[in-house]
Homo-oligomer: A and B are copies of this chain.
Amino acid sequence: MSTQNRCQLLDITREIMRIIEKQKIKEGVLHIFCPHTTAAVTVNENYDPSVQSDISKTLSKLIPHHAHYAHTEGNADAHIKAAVMGSSRTLFIHNGTIAFGSWQGIYFCEFDGPRTREVWVKVLKE
């Protein structure tokens, strides 16, 4: 997938749903893994997009792009944000699809874009 901004939460719910539903596993566990060190995955509100920009902006306020970092590639903040948000999330599969609570969606968290990115998924049968 492609991200458009340096920092951005991208809704990947439908893409993951489509992959999962093809696997025809009725009950199980879905693992999502982010193979990048300046990005993360999260599960959060999928109704009001301003929530996603609030998350992204608040993280950038707490962990600024430029500060006295030792890492000299100019993206130390992105590594720290990725570590705080986490590289993996686990959700449940019920009746062949992802079991969400109301308002939940899956987001790719870009902290050093724009870039071409990947997310890996795996489903384990119950």
Residue numbers of A with Cβ under 8 A of B are 29, 31, 33-37, 42-45, 48, 50-51, 53-55, 57-59, 62-63, 67, 69-73, 76, 79-80, 82-92, 99-104, 118, 120, 122, 124, 126
Contact = CB atoms under 8 A, between A and B. Distances in A.
A88 B91 contact: yes
B76 A31 contact: no
B118 A126 contact: no
Q: Is the interface of A mostly helix, strand, loop or mixed?
A: mixed
Contact of A90 (B51, B71, B88): B88
| A-B pairs with lowest CB-CB distance, top 4 | A35-B101, A50-B70, A37-B45, A88-B90
A72 B59 CA distance: 18
A108 to B, nearest CB: 13
B71 A54 contact: yes
Contact of A82 (B34, B36, B44, B80): B44
